[in-house]
């Protein structure tokens, strides 16, 4: 039926002017309006359900990502903690057996230099080859590095008392935890300060060597130790944020890559802790 047209041979619902009855016209208009708007309402409902489903999926993906990131960061700090425990155990065992003094009595200064070279070479090799070696190999190398560090650090027992070592160790652990929380929660981007921290580290090492060689004095060494504590406090915050950024970069590369990344991040955090501890010990410890 064409709108506005009356069927032939029918006068039903016809007005005197030959136009459709108003009730019929209203019903037809209402029917067309319903037919016109019903699909839109249906599509709107479908769109709302689809949007809700997409939002739920996005929320789930975000929660999964945040959980994976927390697990990955915890893995790096867990590896760092195991490395520190290995260092402490080897240091105590070496001091108890006198292994370091026996080694140095045979090798002399060359043995001390050799230990330093091996540790530096091992750290550099891990950093350069971490993407090509297996996670198990990287983990073994990290623990070997930690053991060599403990063998070397056993010398502090001959210089500082157990009380000084324990206090500085506890102080370092507290600082490290607070700085890590600061790095992971602050909105300040510490990654931009990376080049400045690197230059500061080089200047600190050169200054320490020059002072020890040319101007050996307790005051100068304590000043360098104070600067070292501040510098490695900044490095701790930097490496905390760097660990988070590295895991974000490799989050889609599989569990094997995450294990490798956790080892190299653990090495960086480990070095921050050890260096901060040594500078705190030099700053606050009383030499026997």
pLDDT range class, residue 168, cuts 50, 70, 90: very high
pLDDT at 15: 38
Q: What are 18's two structure tokens?
A: 């030959």
pTM summary value: 0.76
* DSSP letters for 150-198: HHHHGGGGGTB-HHHHHHHHHHHHHHHHHHHHHHHH-SS-GGGGHHHHH
Which region among 88-92, 96-100, 213-217 has the lowest average model confidence (pLDDT)?
Answer: 213-217
Model confidence pLDDT, tens digit, residues 258-279: 888 999 999 999 999 999 999 9
Q: Cβ of 48: how many Cβ atoms within 10 Å?
A: 10
Q: Is the pLDDT of residue 132 over 80?
A: yes
């Amino acid at each position: 039926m064409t709108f506005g047209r009356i069927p032939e041979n029918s006068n039903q619902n016809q007005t005197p002017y030959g136009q459709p009855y108003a009730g019929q016209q209203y019903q037809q208009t209402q029917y067309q309006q319903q037919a016109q708007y019903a699909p839109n309402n249906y599509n709107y409902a479908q769109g709302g359900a689809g949007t809700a489903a997409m939002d739920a999926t996005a929320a789930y993906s975000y929660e999964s990502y945040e959980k994976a990131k927390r697990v990955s960061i915890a893995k790096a700090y867990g590896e760092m903690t195991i490395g520190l425990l290995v260092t402490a155990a080897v240091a105590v065992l070496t001091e108890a057996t006198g292994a370091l003094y026996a080694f140095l009595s045979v090798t002399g200064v060359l043995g001390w230099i050799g230990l330093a070279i091996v540790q530096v070479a091992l750290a550099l090799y891990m950093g350069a080859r971490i993407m090509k070696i297996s996670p198990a190999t990287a983990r073994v190398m990290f623990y070997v590095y930690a053991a060599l560090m403990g063998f070397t650090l056993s010398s502090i027992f001959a210089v500082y008392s157990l009380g000084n070592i324990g206090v500085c160790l506890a102080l370092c652990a507290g600082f490290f935890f607070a700085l890590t929380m600061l790095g992971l929660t602050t909105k300040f981007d510490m990654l931009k300060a990376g080049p400045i921290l690197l230059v500061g580290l080089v200047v600190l090492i050169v200054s320490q060597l020059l002072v020890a060689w040319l101007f050996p004095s307790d005051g100068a060494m304590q000043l360098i130790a104070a600067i070292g504590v501040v510098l490695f406090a900044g490095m701790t915050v930097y490496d905390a944020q760097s660990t988070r950024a590295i895991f974000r970069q490799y989050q889609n590369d599989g569990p094997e890559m995450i294990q490798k990344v956790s080892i190299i991040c653990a090495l960086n955090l480990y070095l921050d802790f050890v260096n901060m501890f040594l500078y705190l010990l030099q700053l606050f410890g009383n030499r026997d």
